[in-house]
Amino acid sequence: MIYYLENGRIYFTIENEFEVALTLMGHSNDRRWWIVSLDMFIEATSAGGAAEDVDITLTDAQKLHLRSNAQKQLVPLFVPEGSTHTPLFFPLVNLYDYLHSCCLNMQLEILFIQSAMLVKTRWMNQLKVQMNPDRTKLTLTYWKGGSPASQWARPQVRKTNTQKHLL
């Protein structure tokens, strides 16, 4: 993590994930963090082929939604009046956890899309790709028998007669 202060803002940069700029707003006794800017750095990379063609650029509506939800991480939870327990609140940690989780989800989506592309092209009948309904678990099964031409690569079990001769 890299952070720096500039013009009344603090910038937090997580390499290959995101950069967020924050400032404090409000009266001195009730200041809260406010997101000034938020940039996501997640992108598809590969060692060649069509996998880098995966574009996960966020739309303006998605960016607004992401920023709105990120801002909610900086607001303390409502504590009912008369409650004896005040929960601990760490706004910057909450913000980091939320944005990092979003980045991990985006990376999982990229892997899913790239794997699905491989199933349709180079690894046809060699790869099975499954994503669970809530999109939190990706399962890849490789070489599930393969094509008839690939059967030669399977190890062959050969029975041999190994009797010992005594002299």
Strand ordering across the sheet containing 32-40: 2-6, 9-14, 18-25, 32-40
pTM over 0.85: no
Task: Over range 138-144, report the average pLDDT.
Answer: 82
Distance, CA of 113 to CA of 124 (rounded, Å):
15
Handedness of CA 87, 89, 94, 95 (dihedral sign): positive
Beta-bridge partner residues of 45: none
Q: Which residue has the higher pLDDT, 115 or 94?
A: 94
**Residue among 109, 113, 96 at smallest CA distance from 12:** 96
CA 145 – CA 127 distance, rounded (Å) = 10
How far, in Å, CA of 103 to CA of 81, rounded?
A: 36
Model confidence at 62, in pLDDT bands (50, 70, 90)?
very high
Residue 57 per-residue DSSP state: P
The residue type found at 85 is H
The pLDDT value recorded for residue 11 is 98
Cα separation, 35 vs 166, in Å, equals 85
The domain spans of the chain are 2-74+89-123
Q: What is the pLDDT of residues 8-43, one digit of tens each?
A: 999 999 999 999 999 999 888 888 999 999 999 998
- Cβ-based neighbours of 123, under 8 Å, separated by 6 or more: 142
